[in-house]
Amino acid sequence: MVLGVGGFAYSTAQILKDGGACVCTYLTRDYAHYSPSLAGPVFSREQHPSPCPIIREEQIGLVIPMSIDWAQARWKEELLEMGVPIFSPTGEAMKIERERDFARQLCQRFRIPFPRAHVARNRLEAEEILEAHQLPFVIKNPFCSPTSPIHTVLCETPADTRSWLRHLDYAEGVFLQEYLGRAEAGHIALVSGGEIYSLVTNQEYKRAFAGNLGIVAGAPLGGLVERDPTDKYGLARELLHPLRPWFREVSYHGPIQVTAVQRSGQWHVIEYNIRIGVTSGAMILRMLRNPGGVLLDTARDRKLEIQFVEGRDFGCSVTLAGYGYPYVQISGPRVPVEVATPLDCDVWWNEVTRDGAALVTTGHRIADVVALAHSLDKAIAKAYSNIRRIRSVGSYFRGDVGQSLWPPGTL
């Protein structure tokens, strides 16, 4: 059972179904319900206030959450008590994503480079921190949740930060993290049975427009992954392996993703996530020979045997964004989505639905087009040749995925 909506739930359920699993989705949000239904049964919160009775009745053997918000749900305790394997760390271990200052303290404890950072409760405190340090601070929520009052604002100068501090909702306070530049990369691993298993190194194209221009959108406009069990770029060695004692302390088992920025030749942790990610997840699962088995073994905290599918060394994901994106306050009518010629790579529909025979948009992110290949160039070419076959008025995509920020450390 996937806990989620949209392209994440659709891709996860469909890939596991392709591997022989029986799949369904518990819809955790009130949008993007149609696409997961293409893979299997879906259950809405309105009709099912809790997924627990369904898990019992359907004898669900694995739960895969899309985000960490399930741990805030009323039915969380019941789910944990049922003992169903969950593909996510639980309890204390979740704090590495949920609480940014906890992640900072962990890094300090294990001597992992982390940008200078401060928590402020209100605007006055935030402005005092800025005056005292005179650094460009990126503005973040102290507690990560899809419903946070603050979304990351990427400020690049102290004056940028000063402007934005006047424009925030301080209900949960603010986390100020020194801006370290643009040389970013990510790495995703599984932690199970006390060991760390590297899967991929990845890049996300987070800015809304080609050339890495515009705002950091709510979700990336594109992504790359490279199969990387030997940790070619050293991100796991520098930023994940030092955490091994803590992983064991809290019986961490599940995915771990680190986002990092390189400055002066040194990688620094920007944040940790405890998920395989909305963009990378669909590529990682397609790269694994037995994704269902690997996820289940991880959820059970077992030793892992990870095998990759030959010829799927690289993945490229390009998002088709609809009218108004990335300024999601702007919305349009439901408009048609037309597919010209048959597609020959994965297309994970997101905010679309059926209207009679037609496919129509229901929101801002229409689909992620995902291709895998033995080379990066082939994966990129295939994703673009497919996304060009989809037409929807007012839509756009970034035409430059893979042309910057790769290999890791490059601008």
**Binding-site ranges for ligand ADP (CB under 6 A):** 115, 138, 140, 144, 152, 154, 177-181, 184, 206, 216, 259, 261, 270-271
Identify the CA nearest to 225 among candidates 187, 268, 184, 191.
187
Comparing CB distances to ligand ADP, the nearer of 226 and 271 is 271
What's the min distance (Å) between Cβ of 144 and ligand ADP? 6
What's the min distance (Å) between Cβ of 140 and ligand ADP? 6
How far apart are alpha carbons 189 and 254 in whole angstroms? 9
What's the min distance (Å) between Cβ of 143 and ligand ADP? 11
Comparing CB distances to ligand ADP, the nearer of 221 and 352 is 221
Sheet strands side by side (includes 2-4): 42-43, 25-27, 2-4, 64-65
DSSP 330: -
What's the min distance (Å) between Cβ of 38 and ligand ADP? 27
Identify the CA nearest to 143 among candidates 102, 186, 178.
102
With a CB cutoff of 8 Å and minimum separation 6, the contacts of 206 are 216, 217, 220, 221
What's the min distance (Å) between Cβ of 183 and ligand ADP? 9
Name the one residue in this structure whose structure tokens are 């590297």: 198
What's the min distance (Å) between Cβ of 229 and ligand ADP? 23
How far apart are alpha carbons 170 and 394 in whole angstroms? 35
How far apart are alpha carbons 393 and 189 in whole angstroms? 38
Q: What angle do CA 84, 86, 87 make, to 5 degrees?
A: 155
Comparing CB distances to ligand ADP, the nearer of 178 and 301 is 178
Comparing CB distances to ligand ADP, the nearer of 216 and 309 is 216
CB contact at 8 A, 401 and 316: yes
Comparing CB distances to ligand ADP, the nearer of 115 and 222 is 115
In the chain, the amino acid numbered 303 is K
Comparing CB distances to ligand ADP, the nearer of 112 and 294 is 112
What's the min distance (Å) between Cβ of 30 and ligand ADP? 21
Comparing CB distances to ligand ADP, the nearer of 273 and 361 is 273
